[in-house]
Amino acid sequence: MTYSNILVEQHDAVTLITLNRPQALNALNSGVLEELIEAFAAFQADPSQRCAVLTGAGDKAFAAGADIKEMADKPAADFYAGDFFSRWTSHVVQTTRKPWIAAVNGFALGGGCELAMMADFIIAADTARFGQPEIKLGVAPGMGGSQRLTRAIGKAKAMDMCLTGRMMGAEEAERSGLVARVVPLAELRDTALKVAAEIAAMPPLAAIANKEMVNVAFETTLEQGLLFERRLFQVLTATEDRVEGMAAFVEKRPGVWKGR
Ligand code: HXC
């Protein structure tokens, strides 16, 4: 597939996807959306690919939001009838079982912040700026901002961000639990690729199971979550990679994974 709004590269077992509309601060128009869905589906389907990184082209923005120019003249009925943005979450998030990281290299605003929060975790450049400024446009988050941001940083800060539309810098974002790591901008891409390569080198079934377990923590009670965790742990003990992993530890050598 040839892409015109994103770039897709494979670095061994890591897929690097770059939002590539720097002239519009990588604003998320329908072309970006459709290509991202394709790219994530291809990543999920390719057995040689184990982890992905999503970042933005240029030094200024990860994504400055949904494309305001594309939305400006759209009639309300079209947003509703087309269930605006539902495909994004259902395809990129729900069908991607393999781990992926957002490497936020600048502005992550509105839909850009929401897209970053769909990742399994965020690594931010020290220049990154996060925000949900939709209120200033007379709307509100529509791709998970009110829900994922609140789960990530709590009610007080989420309300502050959504009601004032202010931006949060990388240091505050890390302190608040939105971001896993902050690195200098010049090191962001290499760090994200290195972390992704580390994850890609893990036993693949265990990687998927670890991701599923953590995600279930946001969806269920503690009791049910603990049961889900225990059962998945027990399922993993039936894999060849578990036998190999424990033997490799005892024999003081690196494990060799089969993904079975
Ligand atoms: C379309 C955008 C854009 C956007 C920036 N651009 N953000 N185009 N949609 N979201 C374009 C500008 O129009 C401009 O194009 C070029 O990118 C550079 O932006 P500038 O504004 O000139 O840059 P700067 O002055 O440095 O300001 C940067 C900025 C500002 C603070 C990030 O661009 C900004 O506030 N952008 C909008 C942020 C926002 O409101 N995002 C939320 C969108 S709503 P030209 O052609 O003029 O050079 C949303 C809803 C999601 O995401 C939920 C939907 C269901």
Q: Is the pLDDT of residue 64 over 90?
A: yes
Q: Is the pLDDT of residue 1 over 80?
A: no
Q: Which of 39, 119, 134, 196 is catalytic?
A: 134
Share of the chain above pLDDT 90, in %: 94
Most informative mutation of 5, 68, 161 for ligand 1 (most atoms within 8 A of CB): 68
Residues with CB under 6 A from ligand 1: 24-25, 27, 64-69, 84-85, 107, 109-111, 133-134, 137, 141-143
To the query of whether residue 223 is one of the catalytic residues in this protein, the response is: no
Structural domains in the chain, sorted by start: 6-201 (3.90.226.10), 204-251 (1.10.12.10)
Which residue in this structure is represented by tokens 């009838």?
Answer: 81
Q: Which of 65, 110, 111, 131 is catalytic?
A: 111
Residues 131-175 have pLDDT tens digits of 999 999 999 999 999 999 999 999 999 999 999 999 999 999 999
CA separation, residue 213 to residues 93, 125, 149, 230, 251 (Å): 15, 28, 20, 9, 29
Share of the chain above pLDDT 70, in %: 100
* ipTM, two decimals: 0.97
Residues 79-124 have pLDDT tens digits of 999 888 888 888 888 789 999 999 999 999 999 999 999 999 999 9
To the query of whether residue 207 is one of the catalytic residues in this protein, the response is: no
Q: Residue 92: what pLDDT?
A: 85
- Chain centroid to CA 45: how far? 18
Per-residue HEC secondary structure of 244-258 comes to HHHHHHHCCCCCCCC
Residues 28-46 have pLDDT tens digits of 999 999 999 999 999 999 9
Which stretch of DSSP H or E encloses residue 121?
strand 121-125
Q: Residue 90: what pLDDT?
A: 81
Rounded Cα distance, 132 and 121, in Å: 18
